[in-house]
A = this chain, B = another copy of it.
């Protein structure tokens, strides 16, 4: 057996593990989801940008995400010996681009993108190795108007998909406020504060008992004796900012959070709530953070989130730029839309299928061209099969109208139009056919 034959036998029709083939019916769903993203982002004045899917590995190391680079990226050396990484998130790339034109760009700068991202991880529901993510960021606004706008945009996006406000909640916290509470109010040291933040970040993924054990392991013997654990657990029960410790209510971080909650209430974002357990995984957040959670029991998890990260653009040696943004993944979004039955029916863009009787391709091709000039999307069945088979093809392709064309029809320039939804057949002029097809 030759090597060629061995390779041939082994050749699989499956895509790479954790990635998806988008057959036309899948691609229509993706296009629908992306079109809504574009429309809503543009309605807030955001402009689309893009960056390469391969970046220098340095870009990810610089952010202090060595863990992710070492465990979850596709990182390799190119043929010139340079280490490159398939992008895992868009934030480093967009920070690089803004830094590159720091002086020329006009602020507030509003940008969005829908990049293709890859993470090497174990597959589970809502997680794949390949995914897309809407990234929306506003640069140059230090006040909470930025957070307010970004959260309103996220809420409008959900509304544009048909989501009712009861289907999800927007949970808001402040990293700056939590830093104050952990270090100044509780008196934890930096290491403990960081460990506690990570523990809280995972609180919804563990039992109460498990949480208690891990919490104890963070505290010193004297802290345990002084009842720190209970104090922290009590704190995590707080549901309204005004129930936070008084000292915390005097901080700048608290005032910003309160202002944001007021603004959201004024804007009638009724499902925005304070949630002291929202921490967000990435280290780069510096202020307000938020997560959008699916409230359905079967999908009860964070769908997407974001927050303020004022330090990233400055990492490129330019003056820092205050930034607020969020990233919304396509896989979790599609799960949400499917769970809540919000995905519309999406027929193919082809509007008319020409069934051809006889050896008349040259003339049918000219007829199709006339229809295309009238902006009808038209496909020709060139198979030469019997008429009923051609009509079955149109049905299979979910195309509503079939134009039946033989030599007589061409001579008279009048054609039989079959509507596969109503089952009717009528003979019309081409003009009339165009109006019928385009009206639907």
Interface centre among A19, A64, A145 (most CB of B within 10 A): A145
A82 to B21, CA, bound (A): 19
Chain A 109-126 near chain B by CB (<8 Å), digits 1 or 0: 011000010101000000
Chain B residues, Cβ within 8 Å of A317: 8-9, 11
Q: Which of B20, B61, B396 contacts A7 (CB 8 A)?
A: B61
Query: What's the least CB distance linking A424 to chain B, in Å?
Result: 22
A110 contacts B366, C-beta separation under 8 Å: no
A349 at the interface (CB under 8 A from B): yes
Q: Name, among A8, A45, A148, the residue most crowded by chain B CB atoms within 10 Å (CB to CB).
A: A45
Given that A43-B378, A54-B118, A58-B11 are known contacts, is A76 also in contact with B79, CB under 8 Å in the complex?
no
The 8 Å CB contact of A107, one of B141, B145, B383, is: B383
Please tell me if the beta carbons of B27 and A372 are within 8 angstroms of each other in the complex.
no
Known pairs A47-B349, A120-B79, A396-B106; A130 contacts B54 (CB<8 A): yes
- Choose, from A94-102, A196-204, A294-302, the stretch at the interface: A94-102
Complex copy number for this chain: 2
Give Cα A361 to B156, complex, Å.
Answer: 18
Assuming the contacts A43-B375, A45-B378, A379-B44, asked whether A74 and B54 have C-beta atoms less than 8 A apart, the reply is yes
Q: Name the contact of A372 in the complex, choosing from B56, B77, B156 (C-beta under 8 A).
A: B156
B residues less than 8 Å from A161 (CB atoms): none
Instruction: Report the minimal beta-carbon distance from A138 to chain B, rounded to whole angstroms.
Output: 9
A140 surroundings in chain B (CB, below 8 A): 383
List residues of A (322-368) whose CB comes within 8 Å of B's CBs: 348-350, 353, 361-362, 365-366
The answer to whether A249 has its CB under 8 Å from any CB of chain B is no
How far apart are the CA atoms of A46 and B74 in the complex, in Å?
A: 33
CA distance A380 to B146 in the complex (A): 10
In the bound complex, residues from chain B placing their C-beta under 8 Å from that of A207 are none
A185 within 8 A of B: no
Task: Report yes or no: A24 in contact with B111, Cβ–Cβ below 8 A.
Answer: yes
CB distance from A43 to the nearest CB of B (A): 5
Residues on B with C-beta less than 8 A from A21 are 49-52, 97, 100
Contact between chains at B50 and A16 (CB < 8 Å): no
List chain B residues, Cβ under 8 A from A143. 382
Question: Is A245 in the interface zone, CB < 8 Å from B?
Answer: no
Q: Does A293 contact B (CB under 8 A)?
A: no
Q: How far is the CA of A146 from the CA of B382 in the complex (A)?
A: 8
Report B-chain residues with C-beta under 8 Å of the C-beta of A43.
372, 375-378
Q: How far is the CA of A108 from the CA of B378 in the complex (A)?
A: 13
Pairwise interchain contact A45-B377, C-beta atoms closer than 8 A: yes
Whether B47 lies near A350 (C-beta < 8 A) is yes
Q: 8 Å CB contacts to B: which residues of A136-163?
A: 140-141, 143, 145-146, 148-149, 152, 156
Q: 6 closest A-B pairs (Cβ-Cβ)?
A: A45-B379, A13-B100, A19-B52, A76-B76, A24-B47, A22-B50
Beyond A74-B76, A141-B383: 13 further Cβ-contacts under 8 Å?
A8-B317, A11-B58, A11-B316, A15-B52, A21-B51, A24-B47, A44-B377, A45-B353, A54-B74, A107-B393, A140-B383, A267-B366, A267-B369
